[in-house]
Amino acid sequence: MGKNESIAQFYLQHGQQSPVNTNFNIYRREEFACDSTSLPPNRRDFYKISFITAGEGIVGYADKTIHVKQPAITFMNPLIPYSWEPTTTDQRGYFCLFTDLFVNIDLKKDSLAKSPLFKAGGHHLFLLEPAREMLLKQLFESMLQEIRSGYANKYDVIRNYIQIVMHEALKIQPPEDHYQATNAAERISNLFIELLELQFPIDSPHQSIQFKNANEFADQLNIHTNHLNRALREATGKTTTEWIANRILQEAKALLHYSSWDIAEIGYSLGFEHSSNFNIFFKKHTTITPNQYRKTAVAN
């Protein structure tokens, strides 16, 4: 498994030109070469919701593979390695792609934080009954119409549609006919990533993440830190420290962009007792200070 696939690479793989705005886009599957393009097992640096209304294929994600033979919906995020292999040519439905910049705090609050869209472990594919399939068709068609409109706040409307889609998935029982891998490194990696993700999103400036380093995560998983590092390197190519830093940086960017908390409050919530340490961490990973990032994000 190599470096995370970017949105630009995804479009190139499908013979499509990358759009100017990549924060959110939605398409019909039949118009996007989904019948002839296989996706190899890999992580992507964007979120993807696929709604399959016709066509068969094999979906693989984390440690599961499922043969899809009926209408289904999948929720994939940057934490999950996934693959797709079409087995029939008549592929129809919809899919949407979006980045962390599209995901605001409202989209991850309360019950939606438990949605398969934002979890690392658990189920990410759900088979659909006719009534729910019809409802989802209406929602995806509404998103298509909205994104083509000239309404200034259309992305806020689309976030509302995405929330409904996620709630519908939370009502569905996952399929049971899947193959589960037994690789120990994958199992440990999945448990670590799920534990890491359980700490987010941060909902209050008075809330602080509980586990901040590799030793604390290893203690929770009841394994040695070196064992955890080896498993993550084998399964993901990254160390525990890299995973923690990347996830903290992702949350920091979201809070700087969408919250009104001051820099010290954001730093505290992410485990930094002093704002100077947060500034050093953020600049190390982005080359700019948190305040500079906030000014740029607000301007855009």
The neighbouring-strand residues paired with 66 are 59
Ranges assigned E (strand) in the chain: 24-28, 39-42, 47-54, 57-61, 64-68, 72-76, 82-86, 92-98, 125-127, 179-180
CATH 1.10.10.60 domain span(s) along the chain: 182-299
Give pLDDT, residue 1: 43
State pLDDT tens for residues 119-178.
Answer: 766 788 999 999 999 999 999 999 999 999 999 999 999 999 999 999 998 888 776 554
Q: Which CATH architecture has domain 182-299?
A: Orthogonal Bundle (1.10)
Question: Which CATH superfamily groups domain 7-179?
Answer: Regulatory protein AraC (2.60.120.280)
Mean pLDDT of the chain: 89
Asked if the model's pLDDT at residue 180 lies above 60, the reply is no
CATH 2.60.120.280 domain span(s) along the chain: 7-179
Asked if the model's pLDDT at residue 216 lies above 60, the reply is yes
Do residues 57 and 180 lie in contact, with contact meaning Cβ atoms separated by under 8 Å?
no
Give residue 30's pLDDT band: very low, low, confident or very high (50, 70, 90): very high
Asked if the model's pLDDT at residue 78 lies above 60, the reply is yes
Asked if the model's pLDDT at residue 278 lies above 50, the reply is yes
